[in-house]
Every structure is written in structure tokens, then in C-alpha cells.
Amino acid sequence: MLELEILKTFGDVDTESSFKKITTIRIGGKIKYLISPHTFEDLKNLLAYLKEKNAIFKVVGRGSNILASDKDYDGVVIRLNKLDNCYFQDEYAICEAGLSAVRLSTLAMNNGLSGIEFMSGIPGSMGGLVYMNAGAYKSEIKDVLDSVFVLKDNELVWLDASECDMSYRHSIFMENKDWIIIGCKLKLNKGVKEEIKELINDRLNRRKETQPINFPSCGSCFKNPENNFVWKLIDGIGLRGYRLNDIQVSEKHPNFIINNGNGKSEEFLSITNKIKKEVKEKYDIDLNLEVEIFEW
């Protein structure tokens, strides 16, 4: 049995939250305990306590790539949003896992460092971006990743990027769910602040023009198959704009599935399964989700 007063010693505790509140798709059941540790040590001690108590838990960043079940979660969700520090050393950026990608791209620009303009519109945290090797505009985190700070087997270690098995929307952390990304080190390039700002603004304007950023979503839903684009395949099966209650394939960009208000996890999955089935039937292509499905 977890004790609330003990949990409070590890960080801020919320007993009134839900996945609907902490994910960008705004879907999911109530969370028994939502905890935001303040430091590495708080996190490490919290994990030790939870393991001692055999408690179930889930670690999240900013919830931008998670579809959670509609059922209530009788466990602990550890949110790393308080671990958001960053500093620069020559051409390197060293940051904690909870730092938002948008914030880091702005900090890098202000320091005259280039190389991560592509992530200026990605609404996730650095831990999440490393976890899935996120990318945009033909660039990925692996292109700038130097190393990752990981809590592994109750020890804090640095893993070189070469040890992280990074590929398209994949990393070694997906196969090792008990390894927790604490931070990362990126290798950037010196640039001219005005030019970096211009490129960031260009990227942001393209996002506004082509993506449904005014609606809750998980971001891109499916991974692009080799030599193809998911949005074209979804158009080809006539499902652009397809809607099931409040969940809808975006009219603006069909690889985004949006929540028009009170969408449910099962509706989201019903639509993605329909897309996968019809794309397979018409094109003989197997689609794979980018989105992490969290069920219990």
C-alpha cells in the first residue's frame, strides 16, 4: 500500500488528474497518483520506493505521443516535466528529459547554435523525442545525438549514441521499458542567430499551414512506409475526414487523428485499425503506429 505522505517527499503529487489532462490527444482515464519529481535523486528514490512496494507505474514526459486507455489507472504516473534544465558547453547542449523540444530549439537559437530547427514545432519533451527518435523535415534526433543519460538497473549511466540503436522512429529504449531517459547531450553547429530564427519561423509556418495544430492529437499517427507517405495512402482509401463520434481523421493532414471534444481511446483505435485494414487490402502495405498505446 502506497502512502500519500511518503509520495509527497519525492515531488508534487496530484490525486485529481487524468490522462485526459496530461496528454496532447486529451484522452484517458483518471490517474490515482500523478507525481512530478523535482530532481534526479527524487526520481531515483521514488522508483526505489515503488519497486519496494511492487507498485505499477508509468513514466511520461509531456504526453504528446501517448494514447491511454479510457479506464482509470490504479497506479502512479511519473511526469518528468520538472526535470527541464539545460546548459550549453561550446557546441553541445546538455538537457534534462523533461525540457520541451520547442524550448530547447529557442535556447539554441539564442546561443547561436544550429541543427535542431526541425524540432521547433514538435510538442514533446526531449526524453520522448530520444525515446522514439522523433524527427521532421528529413531530420531526426539521431542526427545530433551525442549521448543519453539513463537510469538503468538503478544506476545513472551515459550511453553513447552508437549504443542506442537509433533508426526511423526507433531506439533501444523501446525494447528496454525499465530504462528511464534522464537527459541527453546534443552536438550542434555554430550559426547566425537571425538565420536560425528565419528557418525556425519557416518550419513553424509550414506546420500551421499543413497540420491541424489547433486540435488535440498525438501528432503523426503512423510511420511512413519506405518510399511512401501515409497521408497519400489514407487519401487513396478515401478516409480523409472520416469521423467516429468525436475522433476524426484530419481534413488538413490525414496522418493526424484529432479529438473534436470528448473522444475515446476505443474510437481512436477503431479508426486506426480501419485505416490499417483498408491500406493493407488496397496496397498490400502494413502500416505501423508511431503513437504509443498504453493499456492496462
Domain ranges (residues) in the chain: 4-79, 86-195, 213-294
Distances (CA, A) of 215 to 7, 25, 249, 273: 34, 8, 11, 21
pLDDT score, position 153: 85
Question: Alpha-carbon dihedral of residues 129, 134, 138, 141, nearest 10 degrees?
Answer: 40
Catalytic annotation on 243?
A: no
Burial of 200 (0-12, 13-18, 19+ CB in 10 A): buried
CA distance 146 to 165: 13
Mean pLDDT of 76-93: 96
CATH of 4-79, one of 3.40.50.2030, 2.40.340.10, 3.30.43.10, 3.40.190.10: 3.30.43.10
Mean pLDDT of 76-102: 96
pLDDT score, position 237: 98
Mean pLDDT of 180-199: 96
Per-residue confidence at 138, pLDDT binned at 50, 70, 90? confident
* Residue 212: pLDDT over 90: yes
* Residue 26: pLDDT over 90: yes
Q: Which of 26, 62, 79, 169 is catalytic?
A: 169
Q: Which of 117, 140, 267, 290 is catalytic?
A: 290
Mean pLDDT of 128-148: 94
pLDDT score, position 137: 84
Q: In terms of Cα–Cα distance, which of 272, 202, 265 is closest to 242?
A: 272
Mean pLDDT of 86-114: 96
Give the list of residues 6+ apart from residue 101 with CB closer than 8 angstroms, or none.
116, 119, 120, 122, 123, 124, 125, 126, 129, 134
> What is the percentage of the chain residues whose pLDDT exceeds 70?
100
Contact 88, 185 (CB under 8 A): no
Q: Which of 220, 250, 265, 267 is catalytic?
A: 220
Per-residue confidence at 79, pLDDT binned at 50, 70, 90? very high
Catalytic annotation on 220?
A: yes
* Residue 121: pLDDT over 90: no
Mind listing the pLDDT tens digit for each residue in 216-272?
999 999 999 999 999 999 999 999 999 999 999 999 999 999 999 999 999 999 999
pLDDT score, position 155: 86
Q: Which fold does the domain 86-195 belong to in CATH?
A: 3.30.465
Share the mean pLDDT of the chain.
95
pLDDT score, position 195: 95
CATH of the domain spanning 213-294: 3.90.78.10
Q: Which DSSP helix (H) or strand (E) runs through 156?
A: strand 155-160
Catalytic annotation on 117?
A: no
* Residue 3: pLDDT over 90: yes
Per-residue confidence at 42, pLDDT binned at 50, 70, 90? very high
